[in-house]
């Protein structure tokens, strides 16, 4: 531990785990040394987060009844007004990523950086990815789920990305948002404006009431204590 933070290299990316106690409980005992704790953290989250694999199959959209839509406007270059609106929507004070910039910086320095920012965004949007690996990194921080966290399962990882990556993702989300209602099935009731995840609970409650007293049906409660 160094100044309350533990730094390590994993798959070529820098990561920072904060809040880890002096020891971690594992099957068979406790580990205390820096190297042992690094190995426990790395092995556990590498197994749970998995690795990317090449996709060998694709969806047959025609067989699924998907109706093609004209979304050519999504491919237009970003405008300065579009970028400025997104800058104003950014939270001013959130935990910064590896670059150290927050939303407050973009808002205060907009007149100075607007031309360079717009050029960089459209360059990336046109798939000119030179140097992209420098931006595609994040500080991984472990947050304890409870005050007496001792096991590695008691921690939840979050990633603090570069501000430019978060900003670019927000731009894409804002551009796509007006079309989501027509693109996503009504069965998906969360994360889309004017839809509510609470509708799912109401459907389940109604179904349970109708099936009460029927021996052929059993309802199970699923819990995910290690979810993050």
Pairing assessment for the beta strands 13-18 and 5-10 based on DSSP bridges: antiparallel
Residue 18 predicted with pLDDT over 70:
no
Closest by alpha carbon to 81, among 69, 89, 92, 93? 89
Average pLDDT over residues 28-54: 80
Distance CA(123)–CA(101), nearest Å, equals 21
Distance CA(22)–CA(24), nearest Å, equals 7
Residue % of the chain over a pLDDT of 90: 24
Q: Cite the DSSP H helix spans in the chain.
A: 34-49, 80-89, 103-108, 110-125, 132-135, 163-183, 198-211
**For the chain, what's the residue count?**
228
Q: What's the confidence (pLDDT) of residue 104?
A: 94
Residue boundaries of the structural domains of the chain? 1-51+138-161
184 within 8 A of 192, measured Cβ to Cβ:
yes
Sign, CA dihedral 193-198-201-203, equals negative
Distance CA(120)–CA(106), nearest Å, equals 14
Q: What's the confidence (pLDDT) of residue 129?
A: 76
pTM: 0.66
């Amino acid at each position: 531990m160094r100044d309350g933070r533990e730094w390590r290299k994993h798959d070529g990316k820098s990561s920072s785990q904060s809040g880890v106690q002096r020891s971690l409980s594992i099957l068979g005992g406790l580990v205390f040394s820096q190297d042992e704790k690094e190995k426990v953290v790395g092995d556990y989250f590498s197994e749970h987060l998995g690795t990317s694999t090449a996709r060998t199959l694709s969806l047959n959209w025609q067989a699924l009844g998907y109706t093609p839509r004209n979304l050519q406007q999504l491919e237009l270059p970003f405008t300065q007004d579009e970028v400025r609106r997104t800058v104003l929507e950014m939270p001013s004070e959130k935990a910064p990523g590896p670059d150290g910039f927050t939303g407050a910086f973009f808002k205060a320095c907009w007149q100075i950086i607007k031309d360079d920012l717009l050029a960089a965004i459209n360059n990336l949007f046109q798939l000119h990815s030179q140097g992209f690996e420098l931006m595609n990194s994040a500080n991984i921080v472990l947050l304890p789920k409870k005050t007496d966290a001792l096991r590695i399962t008691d921690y939840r990882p979050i990633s603090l990305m570069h501000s430019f990556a978060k900003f670019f993702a927000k731009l894409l989300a804002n551009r796509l948002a007006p079309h989501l209602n027509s693109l996503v099935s009504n069965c998906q009731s969360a994360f889309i404006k004017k839809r509510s995840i609470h509708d799912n609970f109401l459907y389940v409650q109604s179904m349970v009431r109708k099936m009460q007293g029927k021996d052929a049906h059993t309802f199970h409660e699923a819990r995910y204590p290690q979810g993050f």
